[in-house]
Amino acid sequence: MEYAYDDQNIFAKILRGEIPNKTVYENDYALAFEDIAPQAPVHVLVIPKGAYVSLDHFARDASAEEHHGFMQAVAEVCRIMDVEAGFRSIANTRVHGVQDVPHYHMHIIGGRQLGRMLQ
């Protein structure tokens, strides 16, 4: 599969500092920030700093360092946001997954009972 990255997407602009964000955590490989339209008391987006359009793109092409850095950011977000009671991680992908922003992002959602996965 071909993955075409559009560097004008909103998260690319956030990474370049062209659009502000409320940063929760950052390392060399990933940035975590609050979702602008939170669906729950905790709603953080974790994105890689590399140009990956989706989870499957990142899974296929990211280096071991990028994978590790991304997951370290996920761990830090869970610690900082104190989601001991649980949370949901979501990576909406392309058309069937209703992905709005074509830069891979993992939603970390929690802070309340979320119900079953799909209605």
Among residues 51, 41, 42, the alpha carbon closest in space to that of 6 is found at: 51
> Closest CB to ligand 5GP among 68 and 90?
90
**Binding test (CB under 6 A) with ligand 5GP, winner from 5, 9, 35, 76:** 35
Using rule CB under 6 A, residue 56 touches ligand 5GP? no
Among residues 106, 23, 92, the alpha carbon closest in space to that of 62 is found at: 106
Using rule CB under 6 A, residue 26 touches ligand 5GP? no
Using rule CB under 6 A, residue 104 touches ligand 5GP? no
Using rule CB under 6 A, residue 92 touches ligand 5GP? yes
Q: Are residues 104 and 48 in contact, defined by beta-carbon separation less than 8 angstroms? A: yes
